[in-house]
Amino acid sequence: MAQKEFVNKTELLSNRGRLAAPGYAKHLVFNYDRRKIRRKLRIKEWDFYQILSHDYCLQMNIGHLSYVGSVSATLFNLKTGQRYSIGVMKPLVFNAFHMERNGEVDHLLRFHNKRFDMSFDVKGRRRILHLEACDKTYKEFKIDMILTGIQNSEAMTIATPFKTPEHFYLNYKQNGFAARGNVVIDNQIFHFGGDSCGLLDWGRGVWPAKTEWYWSNGATTLPDGRVLGFNIGFGFGDLSHATENMLFVDGKVHKLETITLENDETHIMKDWVFSSSDGRYELTMKPIYDNYTKTKIGPIYMECHQVFGKFNGQVILNTGEKIKIVNMLAFCEHAKNHW
DSSP string for 196-217: EEEEEEEEEEE--SEEEEEEEE
In this prediction, the residues of the chain whose per-residue pLDDT falls under 70 are none
In angstroms, the Cα distances linking 338 to 260, 298, 299, 304 are 24, 11, 7, 12
Residue 14: Cβ within 10 Å count: 12
pTM, to two decimals: 0.97
Is the CA virtual torsion 111, 117, 123, 127 positive or negative?
A: negative
Percentage of the chain beyond pLDDT 70 is: 100
Q: Residue 339's pLDDT is what?
A: 80
Q: Residue 38's pLDDT is what?
A: 92
Nearest residue to 171 (alpha-carbon basis) of 32, 11, 302, 33: 32
In angstroms, the Cα distances linking 26 to 7, 176, 244, 252 are 8, 15, 11, 9
Q: Residue 92's pLDDT is what?
A: 86
In angstroms, the Cα distances linking 5 to 27, 104, 113, 239, 288 are 11, 18, 42, 13, 36
CA Rg value for the chain: 19
Q: Residue 296's pLDDT is what?
A: 85
Q: Residue 194's pLDDT is what?
A: 77
Q: What is the DSSP string of 2-31?
A: ---B--S-EESB-TTS-B---EEESS--EE
Distance of alpha carbon 281 from alpha carbon 335, whole angstroms: 22
| Cβ-based neighbours of 267, under 8 Å, separated by 6 or more | none
Nearest residue to 304 (alpha-carbon basis) of 339, 252, 256, 258: 339
Give the CATH fold of the 9-208 domain: AttH-like fold (2.40.370)
pLDDT, one tens digit per residue, over 120-135 is: 999 999 999 999 999 9
Distance of CA 279 to the CA centre of its chain: 25
Cα dihedral: 91, 59, 110, 125 (round 10): -150
Q: What is the DSSP string of 42-81?
A: GEEEEEEEEEEETTEEEEEEEEE-SSEEEEEEEEEETTT-
Distance of alpha carbon 37 from alpha carbon 13, whole angstroms: 8
Long-range own/partner contacts, residues 29-34 (CB < 8 A, 24 or more apart): 29/157, 30/6, 30/157, 30/159, 30/170, 31/101, 32/101, 32/102, 32/170, 32/204, 33/101, 34/95, 34/101, 34/204
pLDDT, one tens digit per residue, over 320-337 is: 999 999 999 999 999 999
- Beta bridge mates, 216: 232, 332
